[in-house]
Structure 1
Amino acid sequence: MKNCVADGTTIDFIATAAVASGDPVLVGKVVAVSLGNVAIGEPGVGATEGVYELPKVTADDITQGGQVYIKADGMITSVASGNTLAGKAWADAANPSDSVWVKVNA
């Protein structure tokens, strides 16, 4: 097929802040999980499919299968207002846990 330009499992990005390997990165409305450390202004690659353990707002009580959102600071939350859809919770993450398993872009 001549018109396939990518398999869609990764996306390239330019880091607007320092990014550690495994950090969530918002590329427009796409959530990517950085595949490596990336310095500010440098290009990086992020995974756009899969389930990842991501940092969450500690006080949120997230249930398996629920929609989750990413805040501007990269934290996962159950609050939709003002945030971007990140995917679905793959497991429960009760208050006061500090991480949640997320199937990104689901």
Structure 2
Amino acid sequence: MKNCAQPGDRINVTAAATTAAGDGVLVGSLFGIAFGDAESGDTLVIATTGVFTMSKVSTDAFTVGAPVYWHDSVGLVTTDDDTGSNPEIGLAVTAAGNPSGTVNVRLNG
């Protein structure tokens, strides 16, 4: 198709801060997982689709299919949309109880 700019599963963004591979990255409403390390101002490739094991708020409990929100200020996923200030980034594909440190998340893309 002549008007396809790119597949969209990986997007280049400018790192707003020092970022490590595997970190969650929020740019406006675009969320993805960093493919590599980057310093602030560097170009950073983020994955916008796929399933990733992500660190979560330890006291939150997820069921399979539950919406997953990104709490940007702490760099963790959560069950709380905080009255709309935490964007929904995907769905839990594994259950994760309280307490636990991670949950598998399928990104919305």
TM-score where L is the length of structure 2? 0.91
* Larger deviation, residues 50-59 vs 26-35: 26-35
Question: Corresponding residue for 2:77?
Answer: 76
Return the offset for 1:92: 0.6
Give the aligned residue type for 1:77: T
Q: CA RMSD in A?
A: 1.1
Mind listing any 5+ residue stretches in structure 2 that lack a counterpart?
none
- Name the % identity: 39
Any residues of structure 2 matched to 1:1-106 within 5 Å, and which? Answer: 1-73=1-73, 74-81=75-82, 82-105=85-108
TM-score where L is the length of structure 1? 0.94
Mind listing any 5+ residue stretches in structure 1 that lack a counterpart?
none
Return the offset for 1:95: 0.9
Equivalent pairs counted in the alignment come to 106
Runs of 4+ that moved beyond 4 A: none
Structure 1 contact 36–45 (Cα < 8 Å) conserved: yes
